[in-house]
Amino acid sequence: MVTKKFLDTIVLFDGICNLCNEGVNFIIDHDPRKEFKFASLQSDAGIGLLKRAALPIADLSTIVLYDNGKFYTKSSAVLRIAGKLSYPWRLAKLLLVVPPFVRDPAYNFIGRNRYRWFGTKDACRVPTPELRERFL
């Protein structure tokens, strides 16, 4: 069960996807305020948040961002995450003016091919002791 204290800014990611795990590393490295918390889509916390958002639990094809009480997926999640990172990455948020029906086909193409191009892990990411507090 996800408690209220954790419901601030949470990134849900596919825990076995190498691209997704590298994306989490990138966010951690460029998140100067340590604003983001993380949970894999496959974890109990991730499943609980997916249920809360009425998103499909079996669909691992998208990153999910929970921010200020709202859920975002696909390119909207990525660009909103970028908007909270250090400069120059936050400039990517400007692409939110482009409608999702234009942005999301590229996101979907990468999502469909990410396992083939970047590979997978046998198990979900285990955070280091220093990062444990940022993972649900």
Report the relative pairing of strands 70-73 and 37-40 from DSSP bridges.
Answer: unpaired
Once rounded to an integer, what is the mean pLDDT over residues 76-94?
Answer: 96
pLDDT of residue 3: 46
Tokens representing 54? 């009425």
Whether the predicted pLDDT of 81 surpasses 50: yes
pTM here is 0.87
Average pLDDT over residues 18-29: 94
**Residue 129, CB half-sphere, CA atoms under 13 Å: how many?**
0
Q: For 4-128, give the CATH class.
A: alpha beta
Residue 87 has pLDDT above 50, yes or no: yes
Bridge partner residues of 120 (DSSP):
17
pLDDT of residue 99 exceeding 60, the answer is yes
At 64 the three-state DSSP class reads: strand
Q: What is the mean pLDDT of residues 84-98?
A: 96
| Coil vs helix vs strand at 57 | coil
| Whether pLDDT at 1 is above 80 | no
